[in-house]
Structure 1
């Protein structure tokens, strides 16, 4: 008998996931039950709903195969030198604890959630792309745009999969239970080649901009180019990366600009700002309660990282004490104008305001500020813990500036790299610094701290074994995650990653 885990994954890969419909803006989602692909796609409205469903795994805030809490930021920050796992104890959200101290096993770690969520996204994109040409009443313009969105999304899910696992099946069509267990792993080169194919195709069908009020969070041409430039960077295709990212950074049609005030980037009151290239939308208006488990499209990570048992109400709401900031990051940021927008010293705050909190496991006194549960963002409906409206800007302009600078320094235009590095620093009032690779690396850490990029950066630069040695990182093993245990059992073709 097939394991429950594989059956679940198989069903997700077959496209029998929850369908969602629009509420308010394009990606404020609310589950509406289930559908079978065979009796869907009957008209243009259903095609649009299927597009929305293909976006949905991007903002999956709970679940995974084992129904435990899932958040990419939680696991990735725990794995980096930006944060510890934290929480109530060394067993609280064990998936984050074991990636924090590099004791992952095929049976235990965040890989179940990463694998299931991204393959669910792959499948929904596959089903979408198969069925769009057959939808009655779909205009040529709608077909072009929806197809481009499906191609972008499939590329996005596969980029996460190949970075996290390296050795994954390359599935480009919907599956059924007769073949879902017989999918071999592709080479990483084949996966990257398909990602490039999808993104190049997507670029031609996407709009330059979208109206934020009604389509905020929907993919644009600039987002596809930014992701392709990032893919090239990971492949060390320096000239291609530099050219693609330069187009993103300079094309007036996209309207991207660095915000004058660094802290404004992260405010829920400033969504889809001029620095945002690809933003994952979270709603604070859907009145979620604990009975909505596995449906949350709010930002639960905001609640997770707040101080435990905080006795405000002065500025902060309480939280669960996860991802305390390391003293290494706090010290690196001290004296930098970005410090106060990135890190909050709760020890100092509680002393100054005569409040208190309960130190979490691995407490340092420093907490993440960028996504913090700030009282000004608190909503009044539903359960407070479950309705934070903070978006996550996955790709923003300062990121693409620094990625282009890195690509330019690896055989391109060093003067252009200097201009880009200077722009990022000047925005926060810092003087010029020579554009060397290490200075660009250092700037990425300070500019993008706690935004989920650090672990990937350390791995691709080859610095993870040294920088993360204090956490137990093992060279030649921990650069990728283990394949979830049950994906390698019961006659599947999937082989475990080396070292696990």
Structure 2
């Protein structure tokens, strides 16, 4: 998708019925004409923009969904901020029916569904009334994108709000999502009951098959590189098959992507630099579908909140930025490169296999004069520092730890985009010896302050993120294929594709056996003291490889390991007491109260 293909709220409203008002004083002015829009291919193309740009809505990937909801629910992040009840509920995995983040996601994903239905209706109208014969191919490409995006939105809705996943034990007859296969024309047609889980997944899979067919062979280039492709559709279709344990179809579909898409795992050198705003890494050889982000919020406008650059960017980095040592050379004066509400939960550091414990501060023998960030009175114990550097050199901890995180005192950051500071623990951990205090690197500002209101300042973007977000990449496909092979009883192939992902993480050739290979599907992993991930390479690799990309919650729920996860992490900074996991309700989010009140046919999930 072009970086300039933005939605405006007026367009979304104008296209609600797939057309614009006809200037006809004899007709009802509250109705929309179906006779004069879209009349050109460009008109039709314009209806597609909202289908993409809703992804950057503040309720979705623009801000709230990953840092405030999913990263808290999975305890990828630990939140120092406890002034938001809905945020706290996410960390507690004990949601109310009015939780603002689950409600916002539900609403905005269905807006995405509506936007796609508008495009499909407009395409039908255009083909029937205005299209020239040679435009059929172009119209089909537009329809293919709309089918993919509608399936993508329903995929997210079903995983978050569906009553159950489908397993060998059943689940297909449980409550799925209300299915809207067109644009409602009156209030009565908005009153839709929930289809079954099986019907919902069938709808998703059918849309993806249509998308793959309509987009077959199309290669996007230039400013259109971000548009979805046949291979994005087949990759997501394979994922849907895995999530419904349809192992045979999953294997066939995912192997097709692996062998014929032309995509592969990017080399480690690129991988280590692929999540922090380097535009050279966008739409690379591993990416099947990614969210295009424009790192320019038009000054102090906060992108998604202001009117100057509506939905052009994301601001997740405000919540989980890296931390710099204070300008006074202390951890107590540490400064976040944003708001700094969240850091990496300490238990994740152990899970990556980091086994040398936490550090102490000692007097700096080189200190003299006035303390500054590069002349502190206290420094990390040099003995510990040497051990920490050896962990990296010898790769005794999973190297993805350092792709995903920023380590205090070892790593460096640039709060003003120019001056180098040692990384620090967050100031709320200052003086706490038994804390690791790692902050985020993946999808996090490390070399500029995301809260800086001066986009023309060196190294600054204004209050905006600088990185595209991967929504589907080949590492995910490899691990999904491994899971499908395991489910079908082909453990050898499953193990090989798990090992290919691990080899890339250790900067080794993908297809050659190596010393880091797992030897079985129950081999010991890097996850120290973890009763579930510690001896399950498939689970561990999905957790480590896709860390902080927003998908771990779905794996936790479909594998039903929520109780174990809650026990492993124990608690969070924004909670009092233990995480309140409840197997009878926590695996699914509640249908929002507002939806229950407005749709007389919809039913709530059990436990709410």
TM-score between the two structures when normalised by the length of structure 2 = 0.71
Question: Which residue of structure 1 lines up, in the alignment, with residue 440 of structure 2?
Answer: 368
Deviations 1:251-281 (A, max 9, x none): 1x43334323231332422111111111011
Question: Which residue of structure 2 lines up, in the alignment, with residue 245 of structure 1?
Answer: 254
RMSD between aligned alpha carbons?
A: 3.1
**Higher mean Cα deviation, 342-351 or 237-246?**
342-351
Does residue 113 of the first structure (1) align with residue 104 of the second (2)?
A: yes
Alpha carbons 1:341, 1:369 under 8 Å: kept: yes
4+ residue runs over 4 A deviation: 307-317, 347-352, 354-357, 360-364, 376-379, 381-385
Q: Distance in 1 between matches of 2:60 and 2:422?
A: 37
Does residue 359 of the first structure (1) align with residue 428 of the second (2)?
A: yes
Q: SS state of the match for residue 329, structure 1?
A: helix
How many Å apart are 1:297 and its aligned residue? 2.5
- Greater RCO (CA < 8 Å, at least 6 residues apart): 1
Deviations 1:171-228 (A, max 9, x none): 1110134225421111111111111111111111115463453112210111101100
Question: Which residue of structure 2 lines up, in the alignment, with residue 468 of structure 1?
Answer: 566
Does residue 75 of the first structure (1) align with residue 69 of the second (2)?
A: yes
Q: Distance in 2 between matches of 1:249 and 1:230?
A: 13
Q: Distance in 2 between matches of 1:289 and 1:355?
A: 27
- Residues 225 and 272 of structure 1: CA distance in aligned 2, closer, same or farther (over 3 Å): same
Deviations 1:34-62 (A, max 9, x none): 32433242311121111121111122235
Aligned positions, number: 470
How many Å apart are 1:339 and its aligned residue? 1.3
* Equivalent of 1:259 in 242, 267, 270: 267
Q: Distance in 1 between matches of 2:68 and 2:479?
A: 24
Does residue 91 of the first structure (1) align with residue 102 of the second (2)?
A: no
Does residue 29 of the first structure (1) align with residue 6 of the second (2)?
A: yes
Alpha carbons 2:343, 2:439 under 8 Å: kept: yes
- Residues 274 and 98 of structure 1: CA distance in aligned 2, closer, same or farther (over 3 Å): same
- Residues 288 and 296 of structure 1: CA distance in aligned 2, closer, same or farther (over 3 Å): farther
Q: SS state of the match for residue 395, structure 1?
A: strand
Q: Distance in 1 between matches of 2:598 and 2:6?
A: 36
Q: SS state of the match for residue 266, structure 1?
A: coil
How many Å apart are 1:113 and its aligned residue? 1.3
Q: Distance in 2 between matches of 1:146 and 1:260?
A: 35
Q: Distance in 2 between matches of 1:313 and 1:210?
A: 53
Alpha carbons 2:335, 2:426 under 8 Å: kept: no
* Equivalent of 2:158 in 154, 158, 162: 162
How many Å apart are 1:126 and its aligned residue? 0.9
- Residues 358 and 350 of structure 1: CA distance in aligned 2, closer, same or farther (over 3 Å): farther
Alpha carbons 2:276, 2:444 under 8 Å: kept: no
Q: Structure 1, unaligned stretches of length 5 or more?
A: 1-21
Alpha carbons 2:324, 2:424 under 8 Å: kept: no
* Equivalent of 1:235 in 244, 250, 253: 244
Alpha carbons 1:324, 1:364 under 8 Å: kept: no
How many Å apart are 1:396 and its aligned residue? 0.9
Deviations 1:405-439 (A, max 9, x none): 01101124322222212211111227110241721
Q: SS state of the match for residue 274, structure 2?
A: helix
Does residue 46 of the first structure (1) align with residue 43 of the second (2)?
A: yes
Query: Where in structure 2 are the equivalents of 1:163-182 lying within 5 Å?
Result: 163-166=159-162, 167-182=176-191
Deviations 1:67-105 (A, max 9, x none): x95233541111103223x15x3124x433211112311
- Residues 125 and 30 of structure 1: CA distance in aligned 2, closer, same or farther (over 3 Å): closer
Does residue 213 of the first structure (1) align with residue 249 of the second (2)?
A: no
TM-score between the two structures when normalised by the length of structure 1 = 0.85
**Higher mean Cα deviation, 149-158 or 366-375?**
366-375
**Higher mean Cα deviation, 488-497 or 306-315?**
306-315
Q: SS state of the match for residue 190, structure 1?
A: helix
Q: Structure 2, unaligned stretches of length 5 or more?
A: 21-36, 163-175, 355-396, 414-420, 507-514, 523-535, 571-578
Question: Which residue of structure 2 lines up, in the alignment, with residue 411 of structure 1?
Answer: 488
Question: Which residue of structure 2 lines up, in the alignment, with residue 399 of structure 1?
Answer: 476
Question: Which residue of structure 1 lines up, in the alignment, with residue 24 of structure 2?
Answer: none
Does residue 226 of the first structure (1) align with residue 235 of the second (2)?
A: yes
Q: SS state of the match for residue 272, structure 2?
A: helix
How many Å apart are 1:298 and its aligned residue? 1.5
- Residues 350 and 423 of structure 1: CA distance in aligned 2, closer, same or farther (over 3 Å): closer
Question: Which residue of structure 2 lines up, in the alignment, with residue 10 of structure 1?
Answer: none
Larger radius of gyration: 2
Query: Where in structure 2 are the equivalents of 1:101-500 lying within 5 Å?
Result: 101-135=92-126, 136-137=130-131, 139-166=135-162, 167-208=176-217, 210-251=219-260, 253-261=261-269, 262-269=271-278, 270-290=281-301, 293=305, 295-307=310-322, 311=326, 318-333=337-352, 334=354, 335-346=397-408, 353=422, 357-359=426-428, 365-375=437-447, 380-381=455-456, 384=461, 386-429=463-506, 431-436=516-521, 438-469=536-567, 470=570, 471-490=579-598, 492-500=600-608
Q: SS state of the match for residue 268, structure 2?
A: coil
Alpha carbons 2:276, 2:466 under 8 Å: kept: no
- Residues 222 and 377 of structure 1: CA distance in aligned 2, closer, same or farther (over 3 Å): farther
Deviations 1:467-494 (A, max 9, x none): 2243221102011001111111156211
Question: Which residue of structure 2 lines up, in the alignment, with residue 14 of structure 1?
Answer: none
